Amino acid sequence: NAGVTQTPKFQVLKTGQSMTLQCAQDMNHNSMYWYRQDPGMGLRLIYYSASEGTTDKGEVPNGYNVSRLNKREFSLRLESAAPSQTSVYFCASSRDRDYATQYFGPGTRLLVL
């Protein structure tokens, strides 16, 4: 099993450009999450999806949209990138009964110029 995979690994955007970060998990988990990690700030939840077809806002949702395409895939979209969105983005997933134990992907490093 690959666990949680993310693409791309690294991306450079110009202000105003759009892009979609992809995430997939092969562990049959119902819950999936998107976090951003900034220096000295730990991980902050952007959006999460408790099950296929549902999404909810996290701590810092502004400027982002998400799609739970199916049970395996959860994408994060930046419609109009801003320099403040320069960050490392992590996708994670968890089982129903062990919701607190989240498994993370390797991250996508995004630079917005």
Partner 1 sequence: GQQLNQSPQSMFIQEGEDVSMNCTSSSIFNTWLWYKQDPGEGPVLLIALYKAGELTSNGRLTAQFGITRKDSFLNISASIPSDVGIYFCAGRAQETSGSRLTFGEGTQLTVNP
Enumerate residues 29-68 that contact partner 1 by CB under 8 A. 31, 33, 35, 40-45, 48, 50, 56, 58-59
Q: Is 71 a binder of partner 1 (CB under 8 A)?
A: no
Closest to 85 measured CA to CA, from 56, 64, 101, 103: 64
Of 14 and 97, which CB lies nearer to partner 1 in the complex structure?
A: 97
Q: Which amino acid is at 20?
A: T
Q: Which stretch binds partner 1 (CB under 8 A): 15-23, 68-76, 77-85, 98-106?
A: 98-106
Member of 81, 105, 110, 112 binding partner 1 (CB under 8 A): 105
Member of 15, 83, 101, 111 binding partner 1 (CB under 8 A): 101
Q: Which stretch binds partner 1 (CB under 8 A): 13-21, 66-74, 76-84, 105-113?
A: 105-113
Rounded to whole angstroms, how far apart are CA atoms 56 and 1?
Answer: 27
What phi and psi, each to the nearest 5 degrees, are found at residue 84? -65, -10
**Helices assigned H by DSSP within 5-113:** none
Q: Is 102 a binder of partner 1 (CB under 8 A)?
A: yes
SS3 content of the chain, % helix, strand, coil (to 5): 5, 50, 50
Q: Is 26 a binder of partner 1 (CB under 8 A)?
A: no
C-alpha Rg value of the chain to the nearest Å: 13
